[in-house]
Amino acid sequence: MNPASAVLSSFVGAALIGLALFDVFATLFSHPRRHSLSRAVVAATWSACHRLPGSRALAFAGPAAFLIVVTSWVAFLGAGWALVYWPWMPGGFLRPARLDGLGTSLLDSAYFSLVTLTTLGYGDISPAHGLLRLAAPLEALLGLGLLTASVSWLLSIFPVLSRRRALAYEIRLLQEVGADATDPGPPSPLPAGVYADLTSRLVASERDLVTFPITYYFHDDDVRFALPAAMGHLLDLGEQARRQSASSDAHFHGGLLLRAIDDFAASIVDRFRVPNGGSTRDVLCAYARDHAVGSDGSERPAPPGPFRARGLRL
Are 107 and 232 contained in the same domain? no
pLDDT the model gives residue 5: 86
DSSP structure string for 208-228: HHHH-GGGGG---SSGGG-HH
Does residue 113 sit in the same domain as residue 231? Answer: no
- Per-residue pLDDT band at 204 (split at 50, 70, 90): very high
Mean pLDDT over 282-287 rounds to: 92
Q: What is the pLDDT of residue 309?
A: 33
pLDDT at 297 (0 to 100):
47
Domain assignment of residue 295, yes or no: no
Same domain, 281 and 196: yes
Does 219 lie in the same domain as 145? no
Which pLDDT value is given to residue 208? 93
Q: Say how far apart CA 265 and CA 279 lie, in whole Å.
A: 9
Residues 95, 76 within the same domain? yes
Q: Indicate if the pLDDT at residue 257 is higher than 90.
A: yes
14 & 136 share domain: yes
* pLDDT level of residue 91 (50, 70, 90 thresholds): confident
**The pLDDT value given to residue 177:** 82
* 314 found inside a domain: no
Mean pLDDT of 295-301: 50
What pLDDT score was predicted for residue 240? 87
More confident residue, 89 or 257: 257
| Domain endpoint, select from 100, 127, 149 | 149
Residue 309 lies in a domain: no
Same domain, residue pair 164 and 188: yes
Q: Choose between 311 and 230: higher pLDDT.
A: 230
pLDDT band at 57 (very low <50, low <70, confident <90, very high): confident
Among the listed ranges 28-32, 147-151, 198-202, 285-289, which one has the minimum average pLDDT value? Answer: 28-32
| Residue 303 located in a structural domain | no
What is the rounded average pLDDT for all residues in the chain? 84
Coil/strand/helix, residue 236: helix
Helix, coil or strand: residue 310: coil
Is residue 300 included in any domain, yes or no? no
Q: Mean pLDDT, to the nearest integer, of 209-235? A: 92
Q: 32 and 130: one domain?
A: yes
Contact by Cβ (8 Å): 64, 43: no
- Does a structural domain hold residue 227? yes
pLDDT score, position 251: 85
Q: Is the peptide bond before 53 cis (omega within 30 degrees of 0)?
A: no
Instruction: Output the pLDDT for position 3.
Output: 82
Same-domain pairing of 134 and 193: no
Q: Is residue 305 part of a domain?
A: no
Portion of the chain with pLDDT greater than 90, in percent = 50
Q: Do 13 and 140 lie in a common domain?
A: yes
Find all residues with CB under 8 Å of 87, minimum gap 6, and list them: 1, 5, 6, 9, 10
Domain range for 252 is 157-290
Q: Do 144 and 165 share a domain, yes or no?
A: no
pLDDT at 311: 34
The model's pTM is 0.82
| 118 and 210 fall within a common domain | no
For the stretch 97-117, pLDDT in tens is 665 655 568 888 899 999 999
Domain count of the fold of the chain = 2
